Amino acid sequence: MNRKTPPIVSPYRTFTRAEWSRLREDTPLTLSPEELDQLKGLNEPISMDEVVDIYLPMSRLINLHYAASQQLFRATNRFLGLESRKVPYIIGMAGSVSVGKSTTARILRTLLSRWPDHPRVDLVPTDGFLLPNEEMERRGIMNRKGFPESYDLHAMLAFMADVKAGKHNVSAPTYSHLVYNVQPDRRLVVDVPDILIVEGLNVLQTSPAASEPMPYVSDFFDFSIYIDATEADLHQWYVERFLRLRETAFRDPQSYFHRYAMLTEAEAQDTATSIWETINLVNLRRNILPTRQRADLILRKGNDHTMESVALRGA
């Protein structure tokens, strides 16, 4: 008796680039080429066509979700007999090292801030919640920076809870990629924005085993995005960025990686590949990629950094 192969079931509907672009409808383009150049990350080519085809439909979708969430929140307050108060709409953005999360977050922030009903949009990278280098060295986990255990989870959860509670002037720590460490004397202040984008490697990660039940960082998200790419492309982009940094930021004597500035190109490629394979690829496979299916929206990049397809949960 021949058994039929069961159909593949997925909670996502996948759109080609052309199909997704049509969902822009009449959303206006509010970003200039000059502004886009300022928002781009190192070695991340993004064209205005990418903004039109991918980012404008995405900003329209989030704008619709934002409006619906505000109506639901007001209805819940009426049911509970509570005073109406402002609560930020929080977006989580996850993905591997070198996939372009920061650039995507900056562009999305700019576009969302230009919708008339939510002009205040803040962006918080989770790098600031990394443990200080001294503490990681004490714990013997410097080679796992960016892994879930390298973050101050309690501080991150406290920050998310205060923001979601609508508290004023909630501060977050910041991180310097130059010195490769947190900056305890510099804080980023969030004061009840309309929308907050939280960007980081493991923001969709579930909580580790603990003696007491703990919430997830993603429990505070109203919408979540995962930026996806093949391992081969991520490796290539990481090496390319490392080579660019070798010629720029690494030449600064204050840079944590200043010692790499003197490497030959071949040595730099070998060093970058070693770091990628022993740290970033391990983190991707073990911790980051397994969270992809928790996202509401998955953006899939091709080899040239352009988005090839979009998958939307529940569509």
Q: Are 101 and 93 in contact (CB under 8 A)?
A: yes
Q: In whole angstroms, what is the distance from residue 200 CA to residue 160 CA?
A: 14
Containing 63, the helix (H) or strand (E) segment is helix 56-80
- The per-residue pLDDT for range 216-241, each reduced to its tens digit, is 999 999 999 999 999 999 999 999 99
Query: Quick one: pLDDT at residue 41?
Result: 79
- The per-residue pLDDT for range 170-207, each reduced to its tens digit, is 999 999 999 999 998 899 999 999 999 999 999 998 86
Q: In whole angstroms, what is the distance from residue 193 CA to residue 221 CA?
A: 14
Confidence class of residue 212 from pLDDT cuts 50, 70 and 90? Answer: low
47 is written with which tokens?
Answer: 């064209």
**Whole-structure pTM value:** 0.93
Which of 7-11, 166-170, 302-306 bottoms out in mean pLDDT, i.e. has the lowest?
Answer: 7-11
Percent pLDDT > 90 in the chain is 83
Q: What angle do CA 76, 82, 87 make, to 5 degrees?
A: 65
Q: In whole angstroms, what is the distance from residue 193 CA to residue 86 CA?
A: 9
Q: Which residues contact 261 (CB under 8 A, 6 or more apart)?
A: 246, 250, 251, 255
Q: Are 102 and 123 in contact (CB under 8 A)?
A: no
Q: In whole angstroms, what is the distance from residue 163 CA to residue 220 CA?
A: 9
Containing 121, the helix (H) or strand (E) segment is strand 121-125
Query: Is the domain covering 12-313 a CATH 3.90.105.10 domain?
Result: no
Predicted confidence (pLDDT) at residue 307 exceeds the cutoff of 90: yes
